[in-house]
Amino acid sequence: MPARLFYEYAVIRVVPRVDRGEQLNAGVVMYCLEREFLKARIALNAGRLRALDATADVAVIQQHLEAVPRVCEGGPGAGQLAALSMKERWHWLVAPRSALVQLGPVHAGLCLEPDAELDRLMRVLVD
């Protein structure tokens, strides 16, 4: 049996009104040191978002969400964060903050293939 890989992940949440504490799962970010893997997938459900906050600016929230995969990639789209190592970008992403887009607590698991596991996590936690 192939060796399983250790990974960590966090759910990407939209909190349209921090004062109310309501949140909507909108993606997953996953880190696997052994495979040098740091990726995020995003899927914002605008209907669910509007059910939480009818005044939410979906376009602005989508822009904030789209920054997460850019930070994961670390290229020019990541701005100053591109200078950080993959591990440092992971820790920056999962640091607690009170903002419109937040990452939930970090969880760990084992998988055979990180891309397939990220797809599975999206199906289970976001879709």
Residue-wise pLDDT tens for the chain (127 aa)? 678 999 999 999 999 988 888 999 999 999 999 999 999 999 999 999 999 999 999 999 999 999 999 999 998 888 898 889 999 999 999 998 878 899 999 999 999 999 999 999 999 999 8
CA angle 42, 38, 8 (to 5 degrees): 90
Q: Could you give the number of structural domains in the chain? A: 1
Token pair, residue 46, equals 């605008």
pTM for this prediction: 0.92
What is the span of the domain harbouring residue 103? 5-125
